[in-house]
Structure 1
Amino acid sequence: MPTLATYARVYVEDLDTALPTFVRLTGEQPKLRFTYRDLELATVGGYLILGGSEAALAPYRGTHATAIVASLDEPLRITEEHGGEILDGPNDVPTGRNMTVRHPAGATIEYVEFAPETRSAAGVR
């Protein structure tokens, strides 16, 4: 199961305030920007920046990273084989499909299967 891309998650109060710093740090413009529930999200370089109120961010703060995969089938199978726990999903989301997994050692990872148009926009092969 190849991981196509991995994003470090950054939680901020205001996405518009945070973006200029990450644009400057990475030398890249946001490739994706979208809303999900009460959050605003953007990808810049290797970061997934999640903006929202403390209450809106609270359910997501325990997730350590976001991994982009070609299909959710393989991480789903591996999670089940190794005794991990599916915390949420699979779900349809603005960028494709996702699920959040707690692995046996405790790492919590969001796996995302980008829709073809999102994959192209994000520059993920």
Structure 2
Amino acid sequence: MLNILVRRYLPLDRFEDSVRFHEAIIGQKARLRFHYPAYNLELAQVASILFIAGTPESLAPFVNTHATFMVEGIAAFARHLPTVGAEIINGPKDVPTGQNMLVRHPDGMLVEYVEHRHKHPADRLAEPGGGAA
């Protein structure tokens, strides 16, 4: 697992102010920012927050997804997750940043799994017992 992102859904007119606010309080510029034309969405990642902005109609297919798990080897996760009780809802499929899939965990949580084509070193979680606070 590389990183776990909290999702923040916003109307388009609040996107830039929200991203700037979080960049300021976290002290880190957005390391990912892109337009997703297929769904008319704007996305940005600041630290472990994924901002997703659009109209109520463009956000509707996504708002029930609770988190994004960034991974290496999405194909391996697609094979493994069903063996532990998870259900692959959609994917893996190509997206602007690489590949993703939507998964329902046994507890009902909907999670987007994504493997980025270009990984950012800051997205690697500390190894267990690695001294991360």
Q: Could you tell me the TM-score, scaled by structure 2's length?
A: 0.83
The AA in structure 1 aligned to 2:25 is L
Cα distance in 1, alignment partners of residues 25 and 102 from structure 2:
28
Offset at residue 98 of structure 1 (A): 0.4
The AA in structure 2 aligned to 1:38 is N
Determine helix, strand or coil for the equivalent of 1:59.
coil
User: Over aligned residue pairs, what C-alpha RMSD do you find?
Assistant: 1.5
Offset at residue 25 of structure 1 (A): 2.5
Matched, 1:26 2:26: yes
Which sections of structure 2, spanning at least 5 residues, go unmatched?
125-133
Determine helix, strand or coil for the equivalent of 2:123.
coil
Cα distance in 2, alignment partners of residues 40 and 114 from structure 1:
17
The AA in structure 2 aligned to 1:54 is P
Query: Residues 52-81 of structure 1, C-alpha deviation per residue, up to 9 Å, x if partnerless?
Result: 011111111111110111111232122221
The AA in structure 2 aligned to 1:87 is I
How many residue pairs match? The answer is 120
Query: Residues 77-112 of structure 1, C-alpha deviation per residue, up to 9 Å, x if partnerless?
Result: 222212322122111111110001001110111111
Q: Which runs of at least 4 in structure 1 moved beyond 3 Å after TM superposition? A: 122-125
Determine helix, strand or coil for the equivalent of 1:24.
helix
